[in-house]
Amino acid sequence: MSLIFMLGSDVWLGAQGQQTPTANYKTFTDWCVNKDKLNPEVRRTVDAFALLGEAGTNECEAASQKLASLGELDLSFNQISDITPVASLTKLTAIYLAGNPIAHKTCPLKPESICKF
Per residue in 71-94, pLDDT (tens digit) is 999 999 989 999 999 999 999 999
Please report how many Cα atoms fall inside a 13 Å half-sphere around the Cα of residue 83, on the Cβ side: 28
Q: What is the pLDDT of residue 16?
A: 41
Instruction: Specify if 21 maps to a domain.
Output: no
53: confidence class by pLDDT, cuts 50, 70, 90 = low
Instruction: Specify if 55 maps to a domain.
Output: yes
Instruction: Specify if 19 maps to a domain.
Output: no
Q: What is the pLDDT of residue 50?
A: 77
Helix (H, G, I), strand (E, B) or coil at 115: strand
Instruction: Specify if 81 maps to a domain.
Output: yes
**Domain count of the fold of the chain:** 1
Instruction: Specify if 17 maps to a domain.
Output: no
21: confidence class by pLDDT, cuts 50, 70, 90 = low
Domain containing residue 30: 2-8+26-116
Instruction: Specify if 20 maps to a domain.
Output: no
Instruction: Specify if 13 maps to a domain.
Output: no
